[in-house]
Each structure stands twice: as C-alpha cells, then as structure tokens.
Structure 1
Amino acid sequence: MPTLSLTARIRGTAERTFDVITDLRGYGRWLDTSADYTGTIDITDGPVRVGTEYVERSGLGVRRGVVTAMRSPETVTFHQPMTLRPRLLGVIDSAVTYTLTESADTVTLQRDIEITLPPALKPFAPVVVARYRKESERTLHALKNFIEAPQGRPPA
C-alpha cells in the first residue's frame, strides 16, 4: 500500500487551518477545480464531524468520502474510496490524514495519504501515486495561500 507524506509550514494558527480543512462546504473559496477534483458535494447536513459523508466527482470516478477521525485542532482523517470509470477497473481506496502542529506563529501541516490500488491498477502504481502527489501538492499550496492571505482578500 503506497503512502505519501507531504508537509507545509503555514503562517497562521492550528485552529484556523483546521477549520478551513474541515469546512467541506467552503472548499470552493480556496481550492480551484482540477482534473482530479471538481468540488465537494452532497455533504451530510449539520456540522462536519466524525461520520459526515460527502461526494467528489472527477473524470476518473466518484469518491464517496466520510470523516473517520477528528480531534480539533490537531488531526482529521477522511476515508475516500473512489469507484473508477469504467467500474471494472475497481476502487482506489484512500485515507487522507491531516496532522497540525502549532508553534509560535506557524502551523506545520502534514498530509498523509494511504492508497490501496485495485488489482487492475497495480502495474500502474507509479503513475497513480505521482498523480496523487501532484494533487496533494496543489491542495497544500492553495490552502497555505488562503490561510496566509490578509482577511477579506482573495489569495494570490
């Protein structure tokens, strides 16, 4: 099972960063769409908490995610298996865990992704993992820009 670990240092607080990460309805404010992420929809009513479910569609398939762990403002885990198109390719099972560590005026944000590939994709593991890495880097960059932008102004 491939695992990716990426880290970003963000000028801000763990609370604010955690709040942005767990505000599934607000992702459109800071994360542009891409080939692998077209938005988060069909979010369970109420505040985001353990058990909250959501859907993310892309050209490759549909992720049906659920928040599986949450301890504010230190950690949150999203389990998000993606049923591929066409369905006969199977399901890429993934879990994304954010761990936040605050010190002085910065937050160290670690994003760990555990990926389990269906048999049909195992020969293509390097390509799939590279794609997950690229999207994770894009996400962390967008999050950092949003958190560090002056309040009331869009990120650069």
Structure 2
Amino acid sequence: MTTIERHVEIAAAPEVVFDLVADLHDYGWLPPSGDYDGTSEVSPPPVAVGTTYVEHSRAGVRRGVVIALARPDVIAFRQPMTLRPRAAGTIDATVSMSIAATATGSRVTRTVELGIPRRLAPARSIIVGRYTTESERMLAALKAHAER
C-alpha cells in the first residue's frame, strides 16, 4: 500500500466544503483533466454510504462507492480503477476527505491509499505521481470554488 496525503486551508465553513465533496451529482466545480473526465452513473440521491458512481479517464474506469459519511467531518470512497488495457490490472484506491474547523474556515486532508498490482511495479512512481497531482488539482479546485 502507498499512502498519499495532501492538505489545504479553505476560507469556508466545514459544512460548505463537505457538501461540495459529497454532492456527487454536481461536480461542476471540478473541471475534467487527463485523469478525471467527470463523475457519472451516480446512484439516486441522497448520497449515503453505499452510493455508487463511475469516473472515466484515459487510463481506465473507476467504479466507486461511498464507504463512510459523517457530515461535516469525513467522507470516504473506495474506487478501484480497472486499467486500459484490462490485462494491466486494477489499482485499488481508497480516498478519504477529512474536514476540520479552523479559526478561518476549514482544513481539508485528502488521503489516498493505493494498492498497485505487482506487474505495474516499474510504473509505480508514475502512478503515484499522477494520483498526487490529481489530489492537488482537486483540492485547489475545491478551495477556489468554496471561497467564491
């Protein structure tokens, strides 16, 4: 397992930040990138533990499920990604977003735990780098939107 942890301070109440992250039906604040083309096929509202969704990217398809939800403190997702081509395997990923109140708003911690197949060991640093970059991009977009 590889763990990636990133933090951001956001000048918005924890409830505002949590609601943005938890609203899987409206991720319009997060523009597409090479590793994220959008969230689709979301279970009917409201979002709760067990809600499922799909995220497409050039590298593969993530079929996610909400595994923890405690407003406004934490939301977590298990989102294994089946790689393209399928023979490359599946990257097992668990993403948690913890939100803590601060004097000026919120401190958000995004933790990604990756299980990378052995056959991808030569590409491990590239995979971790891409997940790290995507975590930083996501947090920056969340901050920009929440602080509007």
Q: Provide TM-score, normalisation by structure 1.
A: 0.93
Q: 1:121 offset after TM fit, Å? A: 0.9
Structure 1 counterpart of 2:120:
121
Matched, 1:72 2:43: no
Separation of aligned partners in 2, 1:46 and 1:111:
24
Structure 1 counterpart of 2:97:
98
- 1:9-61 deviations in whole A, cap 9, x for unaligned? 00010001000000011112x11101100000000012001000000011111
Separation of aligned partners in 2, 1:8 and 1:46:
28
Which runs of 5 or more structure 1 residues have no equivalent in the other structure?
A: 150-156
Structure 2 counterpart of 1:85:
84
Q: Residue type matched to 1:128 in 2? A: I
Structure 2 counterpart of 1:16:
16
Structure 1 residue matching 2:96: 3-state secondary structure? strand
Separation of aligned partners in 2, 1:97 and 1:46:
20
Matched, 1:54 2:58: no
Q: Residue type matched to 1:62 in 2? A: V
Q: 1:104 offset after TM fit, Å? A: 2.4
Q: 1:74 offset after TM fit, Å? A: 0.3
Within 5 Å, which residues of 2 pair with 1:35-54?
35-54=34-53
**Percent of pairs identical after alignment?**
45
Q: Provide TM-score, normalisation by structure 2.
A: 0.98
Structure 2 residue matching 1:99: 3-state secondary structure? strand
Q: 1:103 offset after TM fit, Å? A: 1.9
Separation of aligned partners in 1, 2:132 and 2:103:
29
Separation of aligned partners in 2, 1:11 and 1:62:
33
Separation of aligned partners in 2, 1:80 and 1:36:
13
How many residues in Structure 1 have an aligned counterpart in Structure 2?
148
Separation of aligned partners in 2, 1:39 and 1:120:
28
Structure 2 counterpart of 1:143:
142
Q: Residue type matched to 1:77 in 2? A: A
